[in-house]
Amino acid sequence: MDTDVETLADDVLAGDGGEAERLEAEAEAELLRDRLRLAVINIATSEGKKTGMEISDPVVACIADLAFKSAEQLAKDVELFAQHAGRKSIRMDDVILRGT
């Protein structure tokens, strides 16, 4: 699948730069999602061993997907808060505001 994304990115680079940026962002999001999924698997396995429980793969995948979607929404919200305040960077106040 990575080869497909790279091939598409190469094809698009000759054309619209916005499309290449979109493909790059999608590839980066996919990489982050995969890394988060691995982290969730490691945490779930470790915690399961501590308690003597086994957590099924579909449950771990669901937890990882929910965590990613939650982080994605948090990022969008704090970005909007910063934009509303006329800033280009996110501050801790934005994150705290989102948490309330």
Q: What is the DSSP letter of 55?
A: -
pLDDT grade, residue 16 (50/70/90)? low
Residues in the chain: 100
Domains of the chain: 2-99 (1.10.20.10)
**pLDDT tens digits for 52-98?**
998 898 998 899 889 989 988 999 999 999 999 999 999 999 999 88
Tokens of 42: 């490691």
CA pair distance 19, 38, nearest whole angstrom: 29
